[in-house]
Chains A and B, each alone.
Chain A
Amino acid sequence: MNDQPEAKLSVRDLWKIFGPDPKGVVSGEFPRMTHEQRLAHVRASQHHVAAAGVSFDVPTGHIFVIMGLSGSGKSTVLRSISRLVEPTFGSVTLEGTDLLGASQSELIEIRRHKMGMVFQDFGLLPHLDVIQNVAFPLKAQRRPREERRERARQMIELVGLKGREHAYPHELSGGQKQRVGIARSLAVEPELWFLDEPFSALDPLIRSQMQDEFLRLQTQLNKTIVFVTHDFLEALKLADEICIMKDGEIVQIGTPAEIVLRPANDYVRRFIGDVPLANVLRAEDVMSPAWDDGKPHPTVARQAILDEAIKLFDETTETVDVVDAEGAVIGSLHPLEVIRSLYHDQPETAA
C-alpha cells in the first residue's frame, strides 16, 4: 500500500485517550515507548484508549473506508482528523499542512474551504428548509445570497432533490434527509469528504440505492474520501481501501480483495464468513497468468466481479481471459481457482 505516490491525507501514530489527564499520559517518556509499552502505560494510569497508534494514508481521489464495530474507535479517528475531537497525540497532515497545529481560526478556514462532512443522524437544522440547509456552510463564509442560492440549487439537483427546495427536514424521509446532508457537505466544494456512517440510519433498500448513488457521485466529483461504517458489506462495496479497527487499533488495512483473500487474523475472518464473495472479488483479484493454448477464450474486464465472469464458463469453456481497458489479455480464470477463492481458500497456500 505504500507504493502509492502522493498521499492527500496522512495520519501518523494518532492517539486519542480519555480520562482525567490525557495530556499528562502522553508527555514524558511516551514518545519513546514501543506500542505495547504505551498501551500498558495508558491502562496503568487509569485512562481509556479510543484510538491507539492509528496510521494511514489516503491518496487523492480514493475512498478510504474505516470499518469497525461500535466502540472500535472508528468515529473517534474520523473526528480526530476533522478535529471535532482533539486528538491526544500524533499527526494529521493535509497536503503537507499540519492539521493538528492549526489555530481555531485557521481550522475554521480549513473547514470552510477544504472539508465536508456527512453525519449518521443528518445534523440538519430543523428551522431551515432544504435550500437554506444546503447553503448554510456558504452563509457561514458570508458569501453573497444569490451565489449561495445558486450553488445550493446545483447541489440539490446533483443529489436528486430538485423540487423539494422549500421542504423542511421534518417533511423529508430518511433517505431524502441524508441527500440534503450530502448536498450540504458538498456545497463548499471540499477536497476532503468525511462520511460518518451516512447510510446506517436508513432502511436496507434505500441504503443500497444511496450507496450506488454515492459511487456515481464520486466518479463525477473525484473527492478524497474517508468513510466510516460498521457494515462490512458496505465497506467492500464502496472502498478503494479498507481499514478494519478493533479496540482503537488497526487490525488490517488493504483493498477489499486483499482483506477477503488474505484476512490478517480470525477477527477479520469472522466478518468474511457470510460475505457473498462472488460479488466482491474481481476478475483481476483471482486470475492466474495468461493461459495461451492457441484457442480463443471468452474475455472479461479486469474490474468485472466474479459473479459476471462465472456466467461465461460452460461445458466447453474451461478458460476465460481477463483483459484490461485496451483489450490486452493480462491473465486467465480457471474454474478451480474461482471455486477455491469463493470458498475462502487462499490461492497461494491452497495450491
Chain B
Amino acid sequence: MSRFARRFVVSCGAAWPWLLVFAVGAALVLARAAYPQVVTFPDGWLLPLEGPINVAMDWIVENLRGVTRAISGGLGWAFWLAQEMLVHTPWLVTLAAISLISWQGGGLRLTLLIGAILLYILVSGYWTEAMNTLALVLVALPLSVLLGFAAGYLGYRSETARGIIMPTLDLMQTVPAFAYLIPILLLFGFGPVVGLIASVVFAVPPMVRNTILGFQRIPPAIIESACMSGCSRRQQFLWAELPTALPQMLIGVNQTTMAALSMVIIAAIIGGFEDIGWEVLSAMRKAQFGQGLLSGIVIVVLAVMLDRLTAAYAARQLPTTSHAGWPWRRFAVILVAAICGAWLLAWLVPFFADWPEALVFFPANAINAATTDFVMAFGEVMSRIKNAILYFLLLPVKLGFERAVVPFTWGVTFTPLAKTIYWLLAAVACAVAFGLGRWRAGVAAVIVAGFLFLGATGLPWALVVLAVGLLAWQVGGGRLLALAVFSLGFLLLNGIWPPAMLSIYLCFVAVVICILLGGVIGIWAASSDVVSQVIRPINDMLQTLPQFVFLIPALMLFQVGDFTALLAVVAYAIVPMIRYTEHGLRSVPRPLIEAGVSSGCSPWQMFWQIRLPLAQAQILIGINQTILYALGMLVIAALVGTTDLGQAIYIALGKANAGAGLVAGLGMALIAMTADRILQAVIRSGR
C-alpha cells in the first residue's frame, strides 16, 4: 500500500496542472446556474469579423470587376469549347475518341472498362449531364495542373517560396470548399464558371505537393551527372530534372483530376446547370431517391473512369510499363481518322448521333417504389437502430448525461444520487490510475467523464480553453498553445462557438466509431490476406468517390438529421483508419516478429506486446487523417440537415454572405489544424 501511496503522490505532483483545471472546472459548473455566461459566451464580448470581411469583399468586388469579367469571359469561352467537343458532338465520336485515348494509355483492359462505362452512361440517360461535368473537368484540369506545376517548381527552387506555399496549401485544403465558394460567387456571379474557378482552387494543392516532391526526390547523382555531362541549365531542366520528376507529377495529375471532379460536382450548389452534380442535388432536394441513386452511380463511374485513365497515363511514364501504345504521331493520325469516321457514320445513321430514348434504362420509379417498400418493411427495425444510436450515443455526447438521460429516452431519471455515484466512480478510477503510476490515464478518465456528463454543448467555454490550452502546451510547447488559444478565441469572439461545438460533437462521435470499427477491420485485414484483398479495392473506391455521393444511400434510408450525417461521415472517414492500422501492423519488422516467436509469445501476447506498440505511430497518423476527413465531410453532410458549422457555411452560401461563410469556414479550418497539430505533437513525442 505504501508503494501505491507513494506513486499516488508522485502522480499528483506530475498532474497538478490538470487537478487545478479540474478544480476550476468544478467551480465553473457549480456557478453556471447563477452565471449563465460561464457556458454561453456573453454577447457583449463578441468581436465578429463578419462585417469587416463583407465590407472588404464589397470593395474587392467593386474594384476587380474588370479582371473578374475578363477571367470569367475566358473561362466561359474555354468551357464552351469543351462543351462543343463533348456534348454537342454525336456520342459515337466522343466514345471513339475516349476509347482510343484509353487504348493508348492502358491497352485493351482499360479500353474495355472505359468503353463499358461510357455505354452505361449512355444507357442511363445521363449522357448530356455527364459530358457537361466532364467538360468542366476538362477545362479545370489543365489550369490546375499548370498553376500547380508553376507553384510547385517555384517552391522547389526557392526556400522562401516554399515557406509561403506550404502553409497556404494546408489552409486551402482545410478550409471547406463551400466557404471559398462564397467569395468566388460574389466575384464571378452564378453559373458554371464559378464551379470552374472553385475546382481549380480546390484541385491545385495535390499538384503543387507532388511537383515539389517529384523534384525534391531527384537523386543528387542525377543532377550531378547532368552537370558533368556538360548540360546547360536549360538542358539540365528539360532532359534530366523534368523527366525524372515526371512520374511523381503524374500521380499529382491523377489526384488533381479527382479533386477537380469532386469540386465540380459540389459546385452544383451554386452553379447548377445541366450537369450531373445538379441532377443529384435536385433529386436529393426533391427526395427522389431513385433519381438520386441513378445519377449518383453515374458520378461514381465517371470518377472510376477519370481515375483509371489518369492512373494509366501516370504508370505509362515509367519504363517498367509493358504497354507502350502507338508512337505519338501515328496515334494522332488514328485519332483524327477515327473521329472523322465516327462523325461520318453518325451523319449517315442517326442512331450514332443521338442515343435513342427507347434504349434508355431508367428505373428510378422502380427504385423509389422498392425503397418505399423496404422502408415500410424494415422501417421499424431501422428506426429502432437509429433511435438507439441517437439516444444512447449521439444525445449524450451532444447534451451530456445530465440532459440526455431522461425518462423519455433512457427510461430512467438521472437522480442526484446517481450523479454523485457517477462522479465518485470517476474519482476512484482516477485515483487508482494515479496509484498505479499512470497519471495520464487518470486525467483522461476524468476528462471523459466530464465531457460525457456535460456534453459538447454544455461545456463551460473557459474550461475548454484551459484544458485544450494545457494539453497543447504539454505536448507541443508555446507555439502550439498559441495556436490552440487563437483558434478557440476565434470561435468565441466571432460568436460561432455553439455551432462549432456541434461540429466537434458530430466529428467526435464519427471519429470514435471510425477508430473502433476501422481499427477492428484494419486488424482483421492485417491478419488475413483474403480480407486485405477484399478491403483494398473497397477502400480505393471510397477514396476516389466524390464526397457528395456518400450522402445518397444514407439519405435514402434514414431521412435528414444528425444520424444520416453521421453515417455519411463515417463511411467517408473510416478509410484512413483501416489503411493505417493495417499498414502499421503489417510493417512491423520481420526480425522483431521472429524475436517474439522465438521468445515464446502466444499470438495474443504477440499482438498486444509487439505488433500493437510498434504500430502505434502509424495508427495515430491514421486517427489524425480520420479526424481531418471527418471534419471535411461534415461540411458536405450539412446538406442532409445538421445544425453545426457546416450548416452555417451552407446557409451563408444561400445568402451569399461572404463574411459569415468565411468566418465559419476559417473556424472549421482552425479546429482541423489545432486537432492535427496536437495529434502530430503527440505522435512526435511518442517516438
Binding site for B on A (CB under 8 A): 79, 82, 84, 108-109, 111-113, 115-117, 119-127, 129, 136-137, 139-141, 168-171, 181, 184-185, 188, 194
In the complex, what residues of B have CB within 8 A of residue A119's CB? 221, 224-225
| Contact, CB under 8 Å: A84 / B243 | no
| Contact, CB under 8 Å: A141 / B225 | no
Q: Which residues of chain B from 219 to 244 have a CB within 8 Å of any chain A CB? A: 219, 221-222, 224-232, 235, 239-240, 243-244
| Contact, CB under 8 Å: B230 / A84 | no
Total contacts A-B at CB 8 Å: 77
In the complex, what residues of A have CB within 8 A of residue B230's CB? 108-109, 111-113, 137, 140-141, 188
Mask: chain B, 283-324; 1 = CB below 8 Å from A; 0 = not:
000000000000000000000000000000000011110000
A341→B239 CA distance, assembly (Å) = 54
A124→B229 CA distance, assembly (Å) = 11
A171→B319 CA distance, assembly (Å) = 9
A113→B229 CA distance, assembly (Å) = 9
With CB as the reference atom, state the residue of chain A lying closest to B240: A125
B246 interface residue per 8 A CB criterion: yes
In the complex, what residues of B have CB within 8 A of residue A117's CB? 224-225, 228
In the complex, what residues of A have CB within 8 A of residue B219's CB? 121, 123
A79, A136, A184: which has the most chain B beta carbons within 10 Å? A136
Range class of the B interface residue count:
20 to 34
Among B224, B227, B244, B317, which residue has its beta carbon within 8 angstroms of that of A125? Answer: B244
| Contact, CB under 8 Å: B229 / A184 | yes
| Contact, CB under 8 Å: A123 / B239 | no
Q: Which residues of chain B from 172 to 225 have a CB within 8 Å of any chain A CB? A: 219, 221-222, 224-225
| Contact, CB under 8 Å: B235 / A123 | no
| Contact, CB under 8 Å: B320 / A123 | no
Among A116, A123, A126, A137, which residue has its beta carbon within 8 angstroms of that of B224? Answer: A123
Given contacts A127-B246, A140-B239, 4 further A-B contacts (CB under 8 A): A111-B227, A123-B219, A125-B222, A194-B228
With CB as the reference atom, state the residue of chain A lying closest to B319: A168
With CB as the reference atom, state the residue of chain A lying closest to B233: A104
A120→B246 CA distance, assembly (Å) = 24
In the complex, what residues of A have CB within 8 A of residue B318's CB? 126
With CB as the reference atom, state the residue of chain B lying closest to A85: B224
8 nearest A-B pairs in the assembled complex, by CB-CB distance = A112-B230, A123-B225, A123-B221, A137-B229, A168-B319, A117-B228, A111-B230, A119-B221
| Contact, CB under 8 Å: A127 / B235 | no
Known A-B contacts A125-B222, A127-B319, A136-B239; the reply to A82 vs B244 at CB < 8 A is no
A184→B226 CA distance, assembly (Å) = 11
Known A-B contacts A119-B221, A170-B320; the reply to A127 vs B243 at CB < 8 A is yes
CB distance from B235 to the nearest CB of A (A): 5
With CB as the reference atom, state the residue of chain A lying closest to B230: A112
| Contact, CB under 8 Å: A139 / B221 | no
A86→B235 CA distance, assembly (Å) = 21
A168→B320 CA distance, assembly (Å) = 8
In the complex, what residues of B have CB within 8 A of residue A82's CB? 228
CB distance from B504 to the nearest CB of A (A): 46
| Contact, CB under 8 Å: B221 / A121 | yes
With CB as the reference atom, state the residue of chain B lying closest to A181: B225
A141→B230 CA distance, assembly (Å) = 7
With CB as the reference atom, state the residue of chain A lying closest to B232: A108
A165→B235 CA distance, assembly (Å) = 23
| Contact, CB under 8 Å: A126 / B231 | no
In the complex, what residues of B have CB within 8 A of residue A168's CB? 319-320
A17→B318 CA distance, assembly (Å) = 40
| Contact, CB under 8 Å: B244 / A140 | no
CB distance from A207 to the nearest CB of B (A): 18
Q: Which residues of chain B from 313 to 344 have a CB within 8 Å of any chain A CB? A: 317-320
In the complex, what residues of B have CB within 8 A of residue A169's CB? 319
In the complex, what residues of A have CB within 8 A of residue B239's CB? 125, 136, 139-140
In the complex, what residues of A have CB within 8 A of residue B243's CB? 125-127
CB distance from B665 to the nearest CB of A (A): 42
In the complex, 23 of the A-B residue pairs with CB atoms within 8 angstroms, ordered by the A residue number, are A84-B227, A108-B230, A112-B230, A116-B228, A117-B225, A117-B228, A119-B225, A123-B219, A123-B222, A123-B224, A123-B225, A124-B225, A125-B239, A125-B240, A125-B244, A126-B319, A136-B226, A140-B229, A168-B320, A171-B319, A181-B225, A185-B228, A188-B229
